Amino acid sequence: MNRSTAFFFDEMSLWHSASAHALTLPVGGWVQPPVGSGHAESPETKRRLKSLLDVSGLSHHLHMHSAAVANEADLLRVHGREYLQRFKALSDAGGGDLGPQAPIGPGSYEIARLCAGLTIAAVDAVLKGLADNAYSLSRPPGHHCLASDAMGFCFLANIAIEAAKARSGLGKVAVIDWDVHHGNGTQSIFEERADVLTISLHQDACYPPPPATAAKTNVAEVLGWGRTSIFRYRRGVVTTLTCMQ
């Protein structure tokens, strides 16, 4: 049986600018301007992935799509109106620091909405039977973003926005976050919900730093469906994990 994979991408999502940084430090004073984009959350890593798909020929086997920006109703499922207004105002004013390690530039608000829209469209394509599976290559990321605060290069909680939307048509939703960093934003948004399970696999105390990461042990803390499962590891390799059946 032929299976179809949808790939959601828009070049505009790579045009979000965090202004001049050397990794996470703003340029100025004793921090020398780097060669290239410089910021740790660089568009070049994502652009390289898309380029490799194209030159390898794999793109021809994928169903390539862009998407509309996430609408206000979808954003308000997760984020407060005051936060969205503050984000847009700072973006319209040319940018600045929206939160800890969360610098934005001009147009970042619209680009973040596009990123959330790509995520929504990817899941919708699967739920509507238009694809067997889907991948969204979108930027800026979102799993550190809280309901009312940006942090860690994340300005809208992309997957949480989609999970909240998908929940309106499904009984239960699970979000599995596998990253070196704790998906603290997604966890905080859903940790008291009975209809959304969040699972985070991450390096212990990497980011956010304690106490924000709430690291206690290096073993799984399974609190039941609709709560949170946290799998913390030092620097080993997780080979196989059965999260749910």
Residue-wise pLDDT tens digits, 79-122: 999 999 999 999 999 899 999 999 998 899 999 999 999 999 99
Q: How far apart are CA 160 and CA 175, in angstroms?
A: 8
Residue-wise pLDDT tens digits, 18-66: 766 666 666 556 666 555 556 677 788 898 999 999 999 999 999 999 9
Q: Which of 65, 143, 144, 182 is catalytic?
A: 144
Q: Are strands 103-104 and 96-97 parallel, antiparallel or unpaired?
A: antiparallel
Distances (CA, A) of 232 to 4, 110, 151, 220, 240: 33, 34, 21, 7, 14
Instruction: Supply the pTM of this predicted model.
Output: 0.82
Helix (H, G, I), strand (E, B) or coil at 139: coil
Torsion angle in degrees (nearest 10) through CA of 155, 13, 124, 80: 20
Q: How far apart are CA 37 and CA 191, in angstroms?
A: 36
Closest CA to 8 of 84, 79, 76, 69: 69
Query: How much is the pLDDT for 161?
Result: 86
Residue carrying the six token digits 């740790």: 40
> Lowest-confidence range among 130-134, 178-182, 207-211?
207-211
144 catalytic? Reply is yes
Give the mean pLDDT of 142-161: 94
Q: How far apart are CA 114 and CA 98, in angstroms?
A: 18
Distances (CA, A) of 111 to 38, 60, 147: 20, 26, 18
